[in-house]
């Protein structure tokens, strides 16, 4: 048996790893075992534990408990602790990282320096925006990745442009969508649905947590004011990420139709999206889920590392100027939003494809 380390750290990692674990565990004639390692980057139960429960992810074999810190502190702490685990707890035959969070980059570096090959799931995507910590994480991780598992032809092209040989690129699809498709029938109405008197197709969902949008009070206030106005009398449900909560504490005079609620568990959050009139977000993963569920999606960013959600899906980049928000929401009210198409290989089988490749590679 070959041992693969599976690394998770932050909320968007959990839905990406779940289908890979399922595929590994249900394999006949297993040749791969795994060690699930949680770095502890997200430690709040609302961002971590509930996802393990709902997505039936086994308890991590190791928790590095790194917690919060500056970008460098967090990265350094993950690198140090994962290195120690590899040296003292046993070396693995491969390290599989997902996405673009600090845990992804940090573990890739520690593994590669000890000669452990790195597999990167969701490799090759690029926003071109070096002010985002995630873009730095993608660039560094991909520069030391051995095996690239990709979600799109755009990602394949980006990697080829960096000189990566086709023999190391595996176009497998999107594990986040595996999780969505596996759970569509299980989505759960949250209790706030009736408390707030929500009705299907008659409310908006908003999520914002990127430093560029939420760290400065004035800019954040302007965005929220525009969202409240664009929604007219319709409610907006806004699940608040801890980073966003810090800024919200010092803002007053916000529109009364925006309801700030706790971060939602996976099944409840996607229930809200699936039944919404539209979504307003700065998250990358939400643009993919909205595309698959064919829900209009307005992204408050100037760029995206997921261009297929715009070219094929329901996503549109509005930028960060609040003036763009009301006209876009008007188009939603007028039913003039584009319809979505599901990108190739976003079909629910990606986890199995990844495991098949790993078996052959190891």
Distance CA 322, CA 340 (A): 25
Q: Which is nearer to ligand UD1, 209 or 353 (CB)?
A: 209
Q: How far is the CB of 100 from ligand UD1 (least distance, A)?
A: 6
In a 13 Å sphere around the CA of 96, the CA atoms on its Cβ side amount to: 28
The answer to whether 332 contacts ligand UD1 (rule: CB under 6 A) is no
Q: How far is the CB of 270 from ligand UD1 (least distance, A)?
A: 15
Q: Which is nearer to ligand UD1, 277 or 306 (CB)?
A: 306
The answer to whether 68 contacts ligand UD1 (rule: CB under 6 A) is yes
The answer to whether 81 contacts ligand UD1 (rule: CB under 6 A) is no
Stretch 22-51 residues interacting with ligand UD1 (CB under 6 A)? 41-44, 47
The answer to whether 86 contacts ligand UD1 (rule: CB under 6 A) is no
Query: Beta strand pairing status for 94-98 and 2-8?
Result: parallel
Contact pattern for ligand UD1 over residues 242 through 281, marking x by CB under 6 A: xx--------------------------------------
Q: How far is the CB of 135 from ligand UD1 (least distance, A)?
A: 10
Q: Which of 296, 287, 300, 298 is nearest to 223 (CA)?
A: 300
Q: Which is nearer to ligand UD1, 87 or 251 (CB)?
A: 251
115 contact partners, CB below 8 Å, separation of at least 6: none
The answer to whether 10 contacts ligand UD1 (rule: CB under 6 A) is yes
Q: Which of 6, 8, 11, 145 binds ligand UD1 (CB under 6 A)?
A: 11
Q: How far is the CB of 281 from ligand UD1 (least distance, A)?
A: 11
* Catalytic one of 209, 241, 259, 357: 209
Which tokens is 71 given? Answer: 């970008």
Query: Beta strand pairing status for 147-150 and 2-8?
Result: unpaired
Stretch 124-183 residues interacting with ligand UD1 (CB under 6 A)? 133-134
Stretch 106-135 residues interacting with ligand UD1 (CB under 6 A)? 133-134
Q: How far is the CB of 123 from ligand UD1 (least distance, A)?
A: 15
Contact between 325 and 318 under an 8 Å Cβ cutoff? The reply is: yes
Q: Which of 221, 220, 258, 222 is nearest to 237 (CA)?
A: 258
209 is catalytic: yes
DSSP string computed for 175-202:
HHHHHHHHHGGG----THHHHTT--TTS
Q: How far is the CB of 333 from ligand UD1 (least distance, A)?
A: 29
Query: Beta strand pairing status for 297-299 and 169-171?
Result: unpaired
- CA dihedral (293, 299, 303, 308) in degrees, to 10, reads 10
294 contact partners, CB below 8 Å, separation of at least 6: 314, 339, 340
Q: Which of 57, 65, 61 is nearest to 89 (CA)?
A: 61
Q: Which of 245, 252, 262 is nearest to 218 (CA)?
A: 252
Q: Which is nearer to ligand UD1, 242 or 327 (CB)?
A: 242
The answer to whether 209 contacts ligand UD1 (rule: CB under 6 A) is yes
The answer to whether 98 contacts ligand UD1 (rule: CB under 6 A) is no
Q: Which of 21, 101, 169, 227 binds ligand UD1 (CB under 6 A)?
A: 101
Q: What angle do CA 12, 349, 7 make, to 5 degrees?
A: 35
Residue numbers at the binding site for ligand UD1 (CB under 6 A): 10-12, 41-44, 47, 68, 100-102, 133-134, 209, 241-243
Catalytic residues: 209
């Amino acid at each position: 048996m070959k041992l693969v380390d599976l690394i998770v750290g932050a909320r968007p990692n959990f839905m990406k790893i779940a289908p890979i674990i399922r595929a590994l565990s249900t394999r006949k004639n297993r040749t791969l075992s795994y060690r699930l390692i949680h770095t502890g980057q997200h430690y709040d139960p609302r961002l971590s534990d509930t996802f393990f429960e709902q997505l039936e992810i086994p308890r991590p074999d190791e928790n590095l408990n790194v917690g919060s810190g500056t970008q460098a502190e967090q990265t350094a702490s993950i690198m140090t602790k994962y290195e120690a685990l590899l040296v003292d707890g046993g070396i693995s035959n491969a390290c599989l990282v997902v996405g673009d969070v600090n845990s992804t980059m940090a573990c890739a570096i520690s593994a590669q320096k000890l000669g452990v090959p790195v597999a990167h799931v969701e490799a090759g995507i690029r926003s071109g925006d070096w002010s985002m910590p995630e873009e730095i994480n993608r660039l560094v991780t991909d520069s030391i990745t051995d095996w690239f598992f990709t979600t799109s032809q755009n990602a394949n092209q980006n990697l080829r442009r960096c000189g990566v040989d086709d023999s190391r690129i595996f176009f497998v699809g999107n594990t986040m969508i595996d999780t969505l498709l596996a759970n569509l029938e299980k989505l759960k109405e949250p209790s706030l649905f009736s408390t707030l008197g929500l009705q299907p197709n008659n409310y908006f969902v908003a999520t914002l947590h990127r430093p560029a949008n939420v760290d400065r009070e004035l800019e954040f206030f302007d965005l929220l004011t525009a969202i409240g106005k664009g929604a007219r009398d319709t409610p907006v449900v806004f699940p608040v990420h801890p980073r966003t909560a810090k800024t919200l504490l010092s803002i007053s005079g916000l529109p009364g139709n925006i309801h700030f609620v706790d971060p939602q568990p996976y099944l409840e959050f996607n229930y809200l999206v699936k039944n919404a009139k539209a979504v307003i977000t700065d998250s990358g993963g939400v643009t993919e889920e909205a595309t698959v569920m064919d829900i209009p999606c307005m992204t408050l960013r100037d760029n995206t590392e997921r261009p297929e959600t715009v070219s094929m899906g329901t996503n549109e980049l509005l930028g960060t100027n609040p003036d763009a928000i009301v006209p876009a929401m008007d188009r939603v009210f007028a039913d003039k939003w584009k319809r979505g198409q599901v990108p190739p290989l976003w079909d629910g089988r990606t986890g199995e494809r990844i495991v098949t490749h790993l078996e052959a590679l190891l």
